[in-house]
């Protein structure tokens, strides 16, 4: 079996995005990590990271599950690739990949490696669906899109061939590896990404939005508290006049508890029982909206933002509807969401079950994070 090594380019500037696109987490993981994971799942056995002064520290702190090394990137992409190729001691196949193309699938990586084994190269590319015109001063020339393709990465080659192409080629004249491969006299073999999730490069704000949507996460939460006399009824951070209230260690705000569990579930960081143990005196009588703020703080520091919450309160009485707007406003503010992104509904159980008999109130919630 051949030995496949990846060159992962993490040296590009983020001038067009306004923030560091390679180091800002998308749903908890940076583009560098997502690209690294896809390359390893796709079959590479070693990674050479080409870094810039701004990405070096992060890459050095990464735990890479396969052998890896770090090289200094150059002023231009081709120089970074050349530096990385020079650091490879032994490889049959080299997959060269831009870290900013972090939505690449492991299947695409694997196909490009298999193509390079069979044909000497496996250059990932997309077909063109828009009509393209070439502007040449006053002259506009319509191009035949059936003859155009969009170059992507990974671009995977037999190591000896691409290394020689980089030694002899004019690095300043090209913007990708395939052009040097062609200049060295080889005919590239393409791997097309049709019918697959976008292998879009993170360049503009629109690309960033696409990445956020691609990695959106969902979670569910559910909670029940007993209705007793002599307690306030707090739902969604709002005190509701009623002859009974919910029993619990905190303020027993069953709706806010369900919402918190949905958020924690979506982020994959536990549940409220683990975060705020009910045998911890610190949380006795706690305002659950304050706990929600803490949950949101943790979610945001894990690289997520709350996108939407939908919740249902299950109770026979009191009527929820007159209070729903206040709950939406209070919970929304704590989650950094507009009230219209917090949906609060209510249902009865037609006198059945413990909710229907007025013994308890329950709530369920679904949350999405980007
Ligand atoms: Mg609870």
| pLDDT tens-digit readout, 137-172 | 889 999 999 999 999 999 999 999 999 999 999 999
CA of 283 to the centre of ligand 1 (A): 12
128 and 38 in a common domain: yes
CA of 27 to the centre of ligand 1 (A): 27
Residue count (the chain): 370
Which of 194, 214, 234 is at the close of a domain?
A: 214
Whether cis (ω within 30° of 0) applies to the bond prior to 222 is no
Q: Which residue intervals of 157-281 are DSSP H helices?
A: 159-168, 177-183, 205-214, 254-267, 272-275
Which of 214, 233, 267 is at the close of a domain?
A: 214
CA of 272 to the centre of ligand 1 (A): 8
Which of 153, 185, 214 is at the close of a domain?
A: 214
pLDDT band at 66 (very low <50, low <70, confident <90, very high): very high
* Enclosing domain of residue 322: 217-369
Written as six digits, the tokens of 91 are 């490889």
Stated as kind and residue range, the H or E segment containing 57 is helix 53-61
231 and 91 in a common domain: no
pLDDT band at 264 (very low <50, low <70, confident <90, very high): very high
196 and 236 in a common domain: no
198 and 237 in a common domain: no
Q: Which of 349, 358, 354, 289 is nearest to 318 (CA)?
A: 358
CA of 248 to the centre of ligand 1 (A): 7
CA of 305 to the centre of ligand 1 (A): 23
Strand partners, 97: 8
Mean pLDDT, the chain, rounded, equals 93
272 and 353 in a common domain: yes
196 and 343 in a common domain: no
Q: Mean pLDDT across the stretch 74-91?
A: 96
% of the chain residues with pLDDT over 90: 81
CA of 291 to the centre of ligand 1 (A): 12
Q: Is residue 349 over pLDDT 90?
A: yes
Q: For tokens 């090289």, name the residue.
A: 71
301 and 159 in a common domain: no
Residue 10 CB-half CA count within 13 A: 32
Whether cis (ω within 30° of 0) applies to the bond prior to 206 is no
CATH number, domain of 103, equals 3.90.550.10
Stated as kind and residue range, the H or E segment containing 139 is strand 139-142
Stated as kind and residue range, the H or E segment containing 126 is strand 121-127
CA of 311 to the centre of ligand 1 (A): 15
Written as six digits, the tokens of 285 are 């009588």
Contact criterion met (CB below 8 Å) for 331 and 289: yes
Question: What is the model's pLDDT at position 14?
Answer: 64
168 and 229 in a common domain: no
Question: What is the model's pLDDT at position 103?
Answer: 94
Strand partners, 224: 362
In three-state secondary structure terms, 201 is coil
Written as six digits, the tokens of 237 are 């951070």
Contacts of 310 (CB under 8 A, 6+ apart): 343, 345, 365, 366, 367
CA of 282 to the centre of ligand 1 (A): 15
Q: Which residue intervals of 77-137 are DSSP H helices?
A: 77-86, 106-119
Q: For tokens 């490889």, name the residue.
A: 91
Q: Mean pLDDT across the stretch 267-288?
A: 89
CA of 257 to the centre of ligand 1 (A): 5
Question: What is the model's pLDDT at position 246?
Answer: 96
Choice among 33-42, 91-100, 196-205 with the minimum mean pLDDT: 196-205
CATH number, domain of 267, equals 3.30.1330.50
CA of 303 to the centre of ligand 1 (A): 26
195 and 223 in a common domain: no
CA of 205 to the centre of ligand 1 (A): 39
Question: What is the C-alpha separation between 303 and 37, in angstroms, rounded?
Answer: 18
Q: Is residue 195 over pLDDT 80?
A: no
CA of 6 to the centre of ligand 1 (A): 48
288 and 144 in a common domain: no
Question: What is the model's pLDDT at position 16?
Answer: 66
Q: Is residue 13 over pLDDT 80?
A: no
End-to-end CA distance of the chain: 40
CA of 203 to the centre of ligand 1 (A): 44
Q: Is residue 302 over pLDDT 90?
A: no
Question: What is the C-alpha separation between 357 and 351, in angstroms, rounded?
Answer: 6
% of the chain residues with pLDDT over 70: 98
Domain count for the chain = 2
pLDDT band at 301 (very low <50, low <70, confident <90, very high): confident
In three-state secondary structure terms, 194 is coil
Q: Is residue 284 over pLDDT 90?
A: no
222 and 189 in a common domain: no
CA of 304 to the centre of ligand 1 (A): 24
Question: What is the model's pLDDT at position 15?
Answer: 62
CA of 253 to the centre of ligand 1 (A): 7
In three-state secondary structure terms, 41 is helix
Question: What is the C-alpha separation between 266 and 261, in angstroms, rounded?
Answer: 8
247 and 150 in a common domain: no
């Amino acid at each position: 079996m051949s030995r496949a090594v990846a060159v992962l380019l993490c040296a590009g500037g983020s001038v067009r995005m306004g923030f560091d696109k390679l180091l800002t987490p998308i749903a908890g993981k940076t583009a560098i990590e997502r690209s690294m994971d896809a390359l390893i799942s796709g079959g590479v056995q070693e990674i050479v990271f080409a870094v810039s002064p701004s990405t070096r520290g992060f890459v050095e702190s990464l735990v890479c599950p396969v052998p890896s090394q770090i090289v200094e990137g150059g002023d231009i992409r081709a120089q970074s690739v050349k530096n990385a190729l020079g650091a490879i001691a032994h490889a049959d196949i080299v997959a060269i990949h831009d870290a900013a193309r972090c939505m690449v699938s492991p299947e695409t990586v694997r196909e490009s490696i298999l193509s390079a084994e069979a044909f000497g190269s496996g250059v990932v590319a997309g077909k063109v669906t828009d009509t393209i015109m070439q502007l040449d001063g006053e002259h506009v020339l319509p191009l035949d899109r059936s003859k155009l393709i969009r170059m992507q990465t990974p671009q995977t080659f037999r190591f000896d061939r691409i290394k020689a192409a980089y030694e002899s080629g004019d690095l300043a004249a090209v913007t990708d590896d395939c052009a040097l491969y062609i200049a060295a006299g080889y005919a590239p073999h393409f791997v097309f990404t049709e019918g697959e999730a976008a292998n879009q490069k993170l360049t503009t704000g629109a690309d960033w939005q696409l990445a956020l949507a691609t990695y959106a996460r969902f979670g569910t939460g559910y909670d029940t508290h007993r209705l007793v006399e002599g307690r306030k009824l707090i739902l969604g951070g709002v005190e509701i006049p009623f002859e009974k209230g919910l029993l619990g260690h905190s303020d027993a705000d069953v709706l806010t508890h369900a919402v918190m569990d949905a958020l924690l579930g979506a982020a994959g960081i536990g549940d409220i029982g683990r975060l705020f143990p009910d045998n911890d005196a610190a949380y006795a009588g706690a305002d659950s909206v304050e706990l929600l703020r803490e949950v949101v703080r943790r979610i945001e520091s894990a690289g997520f933002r709350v996108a939407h919450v939908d919740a249902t309160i299950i109770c026979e009485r009191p009527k929820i509807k007159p209070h729903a707007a206040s709950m939406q406003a209070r919970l929304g503010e704590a989650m950094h969401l507009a009230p219209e992104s917090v949906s609060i509904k209510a249902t009865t159980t037609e006198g059945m079950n413990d909710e229907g008999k007025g013994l308890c109130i329950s709530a369920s919630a679904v949350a999405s994070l980007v």
